[in-house]
Amino acid sequence: MSLRLPVLNVWLRMTLKWPLSWIKEPATARRLFEFVARHAFRPPQGTHFVEDRIPARWGEIPALWASCGRPDRRRIVVYLHGGAYIMGSIATHRHIAAEIAKAADARVLLPEYRLAPEHPFPAAVEDALDIYRHLLASGYRACEIALAGESAGGGLVFALLLALQAEGLPPPAALVGYSPWADMTMTADSIRRNARREVMIPVSRWADVIGFIHHGTDPADPLASPARGRFEAPPPAFITASRAEALADDATALANALRAGGGDVRLEYAARTPHAWPIMTRILPEADRAVARTGAFLKAQFEAAQR
């Protein structure tokens, strides 16, 4: 455990968990997230960003391409940001997109998918599916695409895989989920077991958040709760979570579902890290190591898929 970790955990309790426990409006939570990200996160030096707009069934999805140095242009990682489907943006996650681009020697596409409550479920899944279709239509092969994300974005990665199965589209080369929110029924034992230990997410607010996301839809739908889905020969996956977080059991349930479908899953748990800690690069050594392992995993899977 690094010396910074306990200090960061205290800071997160004060700057995120406590405010989120009483903030009622998603717009206020979004402003808090944007403020924290603006002051805490920095992309690596030498990062190159290019803005884009991805065609979707409803219009266009804002997106950002991130790269470092001279990446392999036939390696694309789609990074789906977290934020409980109600917050998060290009601005809050451009740094982690850049870090993964550098670690994986790839280009990372960071889309700004639609958020609830303005756009409830399944809007985010529809946007992710449109982005994947766009990449295929642009000439990229599925073996040249990987999916990654954290928290809600981590769950969205695997919901997208289920959507691809249903559409008969080819699966990506690899999947990465950091602390994935993979079961919106919120029945996992870790939600109660780790309610006090969790330093970022106020468990008392989950019902409100799910209410924002689901307007008459079922949280148990596999596209909302991919840990409850049936996967068919899924691509290799790297999933990591903290034993101290409320969503700890989601990672295990998701890994079990993937393995039941014949998937090769690398599941790692950290001891005392906060929820979605890999996005805290250049702040937390544990995050830097997680991103380095992500890069090595993605490189290996791209090489294997493109042989």
Instruction: Identify whether 286 is a catalytic site residue.
Output: no
Instruction: For residue 65, give the nearest of 125, 135, 8 by alpha carbon.
Output: 135
Helix (H) / strand (E) containing 3: none
Q: Which residue has the tokens 């691509």?
A: 235
> How crowded is residue 133: how many other Cβ atoms within 10 Å of its Cβ?
17
Instruction: Identify whether 144 is a catalytic site residue.
Output: no
Residue 246 and residue 190 in contact, taking contact as beta carbons nearer than 8 Å: yes
Residue 248 and residue 269 in contact, taking contact as beta carbons nearer than 8 Å: yes
Catalytic-labelled residue, pool 67, 151, 179, 225: 151
Buried-exposed string 51-79: b where 16+ CB fall within 10 A, e elsewhere: eeebebeeeebebbbbbbeebbeebbbbb
**Alpha helices, DSSP H only, in the chain?**
4-12, 18-22, 26-40, 90-104, 123-137, 152-167, 189-193, 206-213, 248-260, 285-305
Report the side by side order of strands in the sheet with 76-80: 47-56, 59-68, 107-111, 76-80, 145-150, 174-178, 237-242, 265-270
Catalytic-labelled residue, pool 112, 134, 275, 286: 275
Catalytic-labelled residue, pool 150, 198, 245, 286: 245
Instruction: Identify whether 138 is a catalytic site residue.
Output: no
What sign for the dihedral angle of Cα 271, 182, 21, 30?
A: positive
The full 3-state SS of 149-217, as one line of letters, equals EECHHHHHHHHHHHHHHHHCCCCCCEEEEECCCCCCCCCCHHHHHCCCCCCCCCHHHHHHHHHHHCCCC
Structure tokens at 21: 């426990």
- Residues assigned a catalytic role: 151, 245, 275
